[in-house]
Amino acid sequence: MTRSLRLLLVWLPMLPLLLACSGPDETRIAETETPTVAALSATPTSTATATVEPSVTATATSPATPSPAATGTMVPSQAPPTATATATPEAEPTPLGQSPPPAYVPDPRPVDQQVTLPDIDTHYQLDITEINVDTGFVQASQTITIREFREPPPEQLMLQVVPAGYGFFTLDRMALNGQEITPGTLNDGFTLVVDLPQGIQAPAELAIEFHLNVGIDPTGWGYSMLDADVLRLGYWYPAISDDHSFGDLLDPSYTRVSGFDVSVTTEPGMPIAHTGDLASEEPQPDGRVRYSYSSTDTRDFALVLSRSYQVVSTISATGVAVEYYWRSAADGGLSAEAAEQRRQNVLFWTADAVDRLSALLGPYPYSTLRIVDAGPAQPAGIEFAMLIYIAPNYPSLDRLIYHEVAHQWLYAIIGTRTQIDGWVDEGGAEFFERGLPTDFAEVPPVPAEGYLFPLDAHQDEIEGAGRNQGYFSIYEQGARFYYDVMSLMGWDAFWAAMTDFYERFRFEIATAYDLLALWQRHSDVDLRPLYRETFRYEWIDNLADPGVEIQQGWVPILSLRSTAGADRN
């Protein structure tokens, strides 16, 4: 199926709305008020090789909203309704021997909700030819292959370079289709600007050579940084994005999914936590080993290296491999039994989160999820595709893991505008952090000083206001909003909408408009009054009435949604 048809299938049901008319992974604080602390299920939902279960006990209370009995896996009792098409439009015939012209479907969202990422099918080849885990030096080459322009080619490509935000990045060379070029820069070097020649066609290749001098981030939050004997490489390479600045609260990375082939040539036996799957290990003439990895439909590709890593693993009930890269240095003060108990808990919580989120939202589409001790300076957790940084000594480690695993759905699988719609992914992850261990009974309290920023605040609005205020305003207020919506919609309708959200936007980019419109569509209650109380969006009144599926002669083709994305490779 072509990309254009996939977009048409995704958006045609949304067009009536327009005709009728916008503990965080990075910041966590100790909670001083917890309305409800309910128990973790005593029985793991995974078929884990880890046999020791978490020794966490508490008192469960009934949620304010209807919910099923407290079980290891919660599944909505009713499947999402399936609309039936009443008419099938006939396509115009194409003259024999001629290919149909590409059909570019304009973005039907309100202007402030349109996705500004270029719609390009890309593949990244990344080769690290020299790496020093002691000094942080990395020499790399990169080829971005544009396999298809799914819309008219842009005049410029914007490349986000997250290590430049720390001063770690140096560009050595860049060439477009073999011609040397010098890119422009924006946002203090965080963004590289590549002018595209008029008439450029796919396939096209952008070759980049660069090196990193990865250092220390005093805050400990560095996506790429040296942390004791750990070298983190998160968002470490130039990636096609849009014009946005570097932020230190909401994630600075904003990309579409791509295919990746990545190699690291380093000393033999070097433990490497990574996105994707290991493809090969090739001994080199100089005694080093070239480790090759690959992934499909991931938004980024992270690596973490440390000679001290050891690995324990399990398999979740849904067949996902869970690996925990741990360091004995983090076990200081723990007995051998307590340290082993914590490792088994990490495996259990991760597998449990994967299985339950798969049941509530949709399947985890990758083979493996890796949990990584990111070093002693890491304050809490950070999510990447198929890989999560954690601080193993974090006080509420179970909550941290539930939060970060939830990001595999809200950011990695379902892409979001992380700096614009932070409440969608961070508020959603906070909702699952509190909901999964309590059967959705724990609602975050309103801070004594209230919320400094509205829920739809942009990263640029909250920059410099303090991490706690950003956390309260986006993470906790966002989780409360998810609870408010679920309370109004009811349990089954809410989860039917969330599975629909997964089906429509898996491997795509979703905006606040998309989620609010889907909730309204699946609801028997008009949610617009709640939306008006919460947001500054000017298009809320233009949303359709609750439950409206067919309007003004448009025929939704929802029955074909499941085929969207089936032709990806």
pLDDT value of residue 387: 99
**Where are the alpha helices (H) located in 390-523, listed in sequence order?**
397-406, 422, 428-435, 459-462, 467-470, 477-489, 491-505, 512-522
Which range, of 63-67, 276-280, 332-336, 354-358, averages the lowest pLDDT? 63-67
Query: Which tops the pLDDT comparison, 68 or 474?
Result: 474
Residue 466 domain-assigned?
A: yes
Query: Which tops the pLDDT comparison, 433 or 107?
Result: 433
Residue 470 domain-assigned?
A: yes
Question: Which range of residues forms the domain containing residue 485?
Answer: 16-41+56-82+437-553
Give the residues across from 401 on adjacent strands: none
| 5 pLDDT above the threshold of 90 | no
Q: Hunting for tokens 């909250």 — which residue is that?
A: 462
Contact 266, 288 (CB under 8 A): yes
**Tens digits of residue pLDDT in 7-48:** 444 444 444 444 334 343 333 333 333 333 233 333 333 333
Rounded to whole angstroms, the Cα distance separating 346 from 366 reads 19
Candidates 522, 418, 533, 536; CA nearest to 481 is 533
Q: At what angle do helices 491-505 and 512-522 cross, to 10 degrees?
A: 140
Residue 198 domain-assigned?
A: no
pLDDT value of residue 51: 34
Those residues with Cβ within 8 angstroms of residue 280's Cβ, 6 or more apart along the chain or in another chain: 290, 291, 292
* Mean pLDDT confidence for 274-297: 99
**Tens digits of residue pLDDT in 236-266:** 999 999 998 887 677 889 999 999 999 999 9
Pairing, β 321-326 against β 184-186: unpaired
Rounded to whole angstroms, the Cα distance separating 428 from 478 reads 7
pLDDT value of residue 103: 62
User: Could you tell me the CA-to-CA distances from 435 to 65, 404, 425, 440, 486 in Å, in that order?
Assistant: 12, 13, 15, 4, 12
Contact 252, 224 (CB under 8 A): no
**Tens digits of residue pLDDT in 346-375:** 999 999 999 999 999 999 999 999 999 999
Which range, of 18-32, 100-114, 164-178, 539-553, averages the lowest pLDDT? 18-32
* Mean pLDDT confidence for 321-345: 97
pLDDT value of residue 107: 82
pLDDT value of residue 535: 98
What percent of the chain stands above pLDDT 90? 73
* Mean pLDDT confidence for 261-275: 99
Residue 516 domain-assigned?
A: yes
Contacts by residues 471-475 (CB-CB < 8 Å, ≥ 24 positions apart): 471/23, 471/24, 471/27, 471/28, 471/29, 471/249, 472/447, 474/24, 474/249, 474/250, 474/422, 474/423, 474/426, 474/427, 475/23, 475/24, 475/27, 475/426, 475/427, 475/429, 475/430
**Tens digits of residue pLDDT in 167-184:** 999 999 999 999 999 999
Please provide the DSSP assignment of 382-402 as one string.
EEETTEEEE-TT-TTHHHHHH
- Cis amide leading into 203 (omega within 30): yes
Residue 493 domain-assigned?
A: yes
Rounded to whole angstroms, the Cα distance separating 560 from 188 reads 45
Q: Measured on CA atoms in the order 397, 399, 404, 405, is the torsion positive or negative?
A: positive
Please provide the DSSP assignment of 95-110 as one string.
PTT-PPPP-PPPP-S-
Contact 426, 314 (CB under 8 A): no
Contact 324, 313 (CB under 8 A): yes
Pairing, β 225-227 against β 230-233: antiparallel
Contact 290, 282 (CB under 8 A): yes
Residue 352 domain-assigned?
A: no
Candidates 310, 322, 277; CA nearest to 48 is 322
Length of the chain: 569
Contact 492, 76 (CB under 8 A): yes
Query: Which tops the pLDDT comparison, 57 or 513?
Result: 513
Residue 483 domain-assigned?
A: yes
- How many domains would you assign to the chain? 1
**Tens digits of residue pLDDT in 393-452:** 999 999 999 999 999 999 999 999 999 999 999 999 999 999 999 999 999 999 999 999
| Helix/strand/coil percentages in the chain, nearest 5 | 25, 25, 50
Residue 334 domain-assigned?
A: no
| 87 pLDDT above the threshold of 90 | no
The 3-state DSSP class for residue 359 equals helix
User: Could you tell me the CA-to-CA distances from 346 to 55, 289, 315, 391 in Å, in that order?
Assistant: 12, 30, 13, 11
Pairing, β 204-213 against β 169-176: antiparallel
For residue 513, give both structure tokens: 């408009």
Pairing, β 272-274 against β 303-305: antiparallel
